[in-house]
Structure 1
Amino acid sequence: MTCSHQTIIQKNIEQISQQIHEAELRYSREPHSVQLLAVSKTKPIEALQAAIDAGQRRFGENYVQEGVDKIQHFEQHYSQCKLEWHFIGPIQSNKTRLIAENFDWVHSVDREKIAQRLNDQRGERNQNGEKNPLQVLIQVNTSGETSKSGTNHDQVFALAELINALPNLTLRGLMSIPEHVPDYASQLAAFEKLAQLKTQLQARYPQVDTLSMGMSGDIQAAIEAGSTMVRIGTAIFGQRDYQNK
């Protein structure tokens, strides 16, 4: 990676962070209430290092083995950075152990079997002997598209009840990838549905505090609706190269 590319990544992070700050002010959100999750799937170590140099500490990965390789690299060489790793892709049953053992957060839990496996395969304590539950979001299919992962609205509370009872998981909130729509009003309406569901969930489980929604093309609507974590990839790192998967 060239120095110019590193500089571009750092400038992109500065610009997006400024956009988030301005949106917080515009929509009367608390300062720093919206976190930036850098979606780094298919990106090389050098790109993540450039983001780290710009102050970014939260990274989202979609592919399990690729994500684990990155986690292990940075734990070995940059343990002082205290990075936070989020798994945001579809979860296959045969990959739950790697996710449970390596990631800090999982955004894409959408069925009881996966929640149970993540709990059973998560160590109760970390290497320092501290309690170490996996932070979990339930992925909701807000658009009803059969091609989208996520549980239905009417199944959220049953899944939440299970997750809340599992000792090695902490239920933190909801995530969605809404149907792509170009107009702002439709984007906002989709996000507001999830925000309302999060409010209902929070009434039962006070620790629920996270709404993972909003990407490069709909970040403003997501923040207006109440997102607490926006997932930004292309606007930080450029177009994805799936050959590096």
Structure 2
Amino acid sequence: MTANLALTIADNLARVRERIAAAEARYGRPPGSVALLAVSKVHGADSVAAAHAAGQAAFGESYVQEALDKQAALAHLPLTWHFIGRVQTNKTRDIAGHFAWVHGLCELKHARRLGAQRPAALGPLACCVQVNLSGEASKGGLAPEAVADFIAACRGIDGIGVQGLMTLPAPADDLAAQRRPFAALRALRERLATPALPLPTLSMGMTDDLEAAIAEGATMVRVGTAIFGARVGTAHR
């Protein structure tokens, strides 16, 4: 790890944390109520190590083999790994065995495979159900009206635990437009949450719209570019 890389990532992390804290204060959220997930996909192990040295412990990856390589290189560090890409059937065993969280769960066959393949010693795999609020065919996720039945089915699967909802809305330029899909996800969570299944996690918001997400109740924002810079190279999938 170069000194310049460590300083750049530390400075970037500090600025992102300042943005989160400012948004929490502006929108009446308790300090520290929004967790930061550093999206490290297509960035090397040195970048992850630099972020960890600056106090970051949770990292998001989209490509299984790339993530496994980084996990092996950084096994000496106490990191929490979140899988944030599309779940593929032939990758569920690796995901179940090497990640603490899955953010894009939206197919029952994948939920069943992840549960069956989850090592018991690791405890249940924390999952966020992906919701497609825009209806875009190119986006993964369930239609809002399908989420309740999906969660009910997942509750019967050992090895996983549904912790909340996530979404990846279409980009928007102004704050009001950015807030609308996040408000819709929050409202859906409020309708579905019960004392037995509180769905505490709303995973939503990225570099360009994290303030809007925090305004609407995000508990976790997924930030890559503002921490690590623009993606470079080709992902090792």
Q: Which TM class, normalised by the smaller chain length?
A: over 0.9
C-alpha RMSD of matched pairs (Å): 1.2
Whole-angstrom CA distance in 2 between matches of 1:178 and 1:244: 23
**In the alignment, residue 34 of structure 2 is paired with which amino acid?**
V
Q: Which of the numbers 94, 104, 110 marks the counterpart of 1:108?
A: 104
Q: Which of the numbers 87, 90, 94 marks the counterpart of 2:90?
A: 94
User: How do residues 159-174 of structure 1 correspond to structure 2 at under 5 angstroms?
Assistant: 159-174=150-165
**In the alignment, residue 33 of structure 2 is paired with which amino acid?**
S
User: How do residues 125-144 of structure 1 correspond to structure 2 at under 5 angstroms?
Assistant: 125-126=121-122, 132-144=123-135
Give, in angstroms, the shift of residue 205 of structure 1. Answer: 4.2
User: How do residues 197-208 of structure 1 correspond to structure 2 at under 5 angstroms?
Assistant: 197-203=188-194, 205-208=196-199
**SS of equivalent to 1:241:** coil
Does 2:74 align with 1:83?
Answer: no
Whole-angstrom CA distance in 1 between matches of 2:94 and 2:192: 28
Give, in angstroms, the shift of residue 16 of structure 1. Answer: 0.6
Moved over 2 A (4+): 203-207
Give, in angstroms, the shift of residue 91 of structure 1. Answer: 0.9
Give, in angstroms, the shift of residue 89 of structure 1. Answer: 0.3
**In the alignment, residue 173 of structure 2 is paired with which amino acid?**
P
- Count of matched residue pairs: 236
Q: If the length of structure 2 is used for normalisation, what is the TM-score?
A: 0.96
**Contact map agreement 1:214 1:227 (CA 8 A) in 2:** yes
Q: If the length of structure 1 is used for normalisation, what is the TM-score?
A: 0.93
Q: Which of the numbers 206, 211, 227 marks the counterpart of 1:220?
A: 211
**In the alignment, residue 48 of structure 2 is paired with which amino acid?**
L
* Deviation by residue 1:121-179 (Cα, 9 ceiling, x = unmatched): 101223xxxxx110000001111111001111111011101112212111100011001
* Deviation by residue 1:58-107 (Cα, 9 ceiling, x = unmatched): 000000111122122222x33xxx21110000111010010001100000
Structure 1 residues 244 and 144, CA gap change in structure 2 (3 angstroms):
closer
Does 2:8 align with 1:8?
Answer: yes
**SS of equivalent to 2:162:** strand
Structure 2 residue ranges without an equivalent (≥5): none
**Contact map agreement 2:116 2:158 (CA 8 A) in 1:** no
Tell me the percent identity.
Answer: 43
Whole-angstrom CA distance in 2 between matches of 1:16 and 1:177: 19
**Contact map agreement 2:131 2:147 (CA 8 A) in 1:** yes
**SS of equivalent to 1:203:** coil
Give, in angstroms, the shift of residue 206 of structure 1. Answer: 3.1
**Contact map agreement 2:155 2:161 (CA 8 A) in 1:** yes
Give, in angstroms, the shift of residue 204 of structure 1. Answer: 6.2
* Deviation by residue 1:193-232 (Cα, 9 ceiling, x = unmatched): 0011111221264341000000000011000000000000
